[in-house]
């Protein structure tokens, strides 16, 4: 039973789009039922072999406990078969798709190492028509995290925005700038790779409304982690979260037009179009493909460990 005050609160909050109720709490083995494993070729030409769920479990490439889920690449096999497409790894996609929502990712560890190209993102149907939001992405342990939108033509971003990160290209159109999208480079070193992991990881959160898309990052030991994020409350209020790390307002990009319902995708590839092309300039040894093939133990840190994913709508 909803009191009048509570009903009014709900009405006003949904209009403001700032407080949300949890609709999904994904922890441990929930990843097996709420995500599908996609044993597909990597469209970005990575040195990777994405396996199905049975293979991932059998080879311990995914592992669920009561409070965590690990998704890793193989770190024991030397690849000497020249017909191999690459190192075994995992790509999963949420069974549900979301329009306006908040997603909070509590992450203890992200993949690191030369040649790695991990991604945590949201993807719509019929790319690029349904839109793409890259929440965590980077290669070869280089630099800080990059948050990027990729869309069909007609979605651009203003130069001046209320965000702590640094805007890169302003046109989100996949057909220009070699599909670099409209990205924002985060400021803290702890937002990505080995520095993220040394700090025990942290939280990434995304809010999508019809007036914009924003992403926040808080390191594990940061003093400004909002209480609702830190303790995984069943409601969140994004008005209390402070300036986002990256924000993409709808001023010159109609969000509901350029973004359909999006699925969450988590994948880990090696080399390929991005990690491979900047491999040497990242200070990595040998060539990317031979390094990935010959040095399984170099990929002991190539794993995601999630404490939880919470979805609020
Ligand atoms: C992995 O993620 C990136 C997004 O960062 C994407 O471009 C790439 O195509 C993905 N690989 C697969 C197999 O989907
Ligand atoms: C599987 O991986 C998990 C997480 O890394 C680890 O704790 C566990 O010991 C592994 N199991 C086996 C049989 O190697
Ligand atoms: C944005 O796109 C939606 C869906 O295509 C449309 O209904 C709406 O009128 C558009 N809004 C503006 C301000 O153009």
299: domain CATH number?
2.60.120.200
- Residue pair 113/299 in contact by the 8 Å Cβ criterion: yes
Q: How far is CA 27 from CA 233, 269, 308, 311, in A?
A: 14, 23, 5, 12
The total number of structural domains that make up the chain: 1
> How high does pLDDT run on average in the chain?
94
In a domain, 113, yes or no: yes
What residues of the chain score a pLDDT lower than 50?
A: 1-17
Task: Give me the pLDDT at residue 40, please.
Answer: 97
**Token digits for 132?**
């793409």
Strand (E) or helix (H) holding 35: strand 35-37
Q: Is residue 202 part of a domain?
A: yes
Residue 70 CB–ligand 2 contact under 6 Å: yes
Instruction: Quote the ligand 2 centre to 62 CA distance (angstroms).
Output: 9
Residue 59 CB less than 6 A away from ligand 2: no
Give the residue, by CA position, lying nearest to ligand 1 atom 4: 119
Residue 18 confidence (pLDDT): 84
Q: Which residues contact 235 (CB under 8 A, 6 or more apart)?
A: 19, 20, 21, 22, 228, 312
Q: Does a structural domain hold residue 14? A: no
What is the number of the ligand 1 atom nearest to the C-alpha of 119? 5
What is the reported pLDDT for 9?
47
pTM equals: 0.94
Pairwise CA distance, residues 122 & 37, whole Å: 15
The minimum-distance atom of ligand 1 relative to the CA of 134 is 5
Instruction: Clarify whether 132 is annotated catalytic.
Output: yes
In a domain, 72, yes or no: yes
**Predicted local distance difference test score (pLDDT) of residue 13:** 37
Cα separation, 270 vs 79, in Å, equals: 13
pLDDT score at 55: 98
Question: In this structure, which residue's CA is closest to atom 12 in ligand 3?
Answer: 254
Q: What is the pLDDT of residue 14?
A: 38
Asked whether residue 167 is domain-assigned, the answer is yes
Domain membership of residue 3 (yes or no) is no
Q: Is 32 in the pocket of ligand 2 (CB under 6 A)?
A: no
Residue 43 in contact with ligand 1 by CB distance below 6 A: yes
Residue numbers of the domain that contains 282: 22-312
């Amino acid at each position: 039973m909803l009191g009048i005050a509570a009903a009014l609160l709900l009405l006003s909050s949904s209009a403001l789009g700032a407080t949300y109720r949890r609709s999904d709490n994904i922890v441990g083995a929930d990843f097996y039922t709420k995500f599908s494993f996609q044993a597909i070729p990597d469209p970005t030409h990575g040195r990777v072999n994405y396996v199905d769920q049975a293979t991932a479990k059998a080879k311990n490439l995914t592992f669920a406990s009561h409070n965590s889920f690990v998704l890793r690449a193989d770190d024991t096999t030397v690849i000497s078969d020249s017909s191999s497409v690459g190192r075994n790894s995992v790509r999963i996609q949420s069974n549900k798709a979301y329009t306006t929502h908040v997603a909070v990712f509590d992450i203890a560890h992200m993949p690191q190492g030369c040649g790695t190209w991990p991604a945590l993102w949201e993807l719509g149907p019929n790319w690029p028509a349904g839109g793409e939001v890259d929440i965590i992405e980077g290669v070869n342990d280089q630099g800080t995290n990059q948050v990027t939108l990729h869309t069909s033509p007609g979605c651009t971003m203003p130069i001046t925005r209320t965000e702590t990160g640094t805007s890169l290209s302003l046109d989100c159109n996949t057909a220009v700038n070699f599909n670099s999208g409209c990205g924002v480079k985060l400021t803290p070193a702890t937002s990505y790779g080995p520095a993220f992991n040394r700090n025990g990881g942290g939280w990434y959160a995304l809010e999508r409304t019809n007036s914009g898309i924003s992403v926040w990052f808080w390191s594990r030991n940061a003093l400004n982690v909002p209480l609702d994020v830190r303790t995984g409350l069943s409601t969140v209020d994004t008005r209390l979260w402070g300036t986002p790390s990256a924000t993409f307002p709808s001023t010159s990009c109609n969000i509901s037009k350029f973004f359909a319902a999006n699925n969450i995708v988590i994948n880990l590839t090696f080399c390929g179009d991005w990690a491979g092309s900047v491999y040497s300039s990242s200070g990595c040894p040998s060539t990317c493909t031979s390094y990935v093939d010959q040095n399984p133990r170099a990929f002991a840190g190539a794993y995601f460990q999630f404490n939880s994913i919470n979805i609020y709508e």
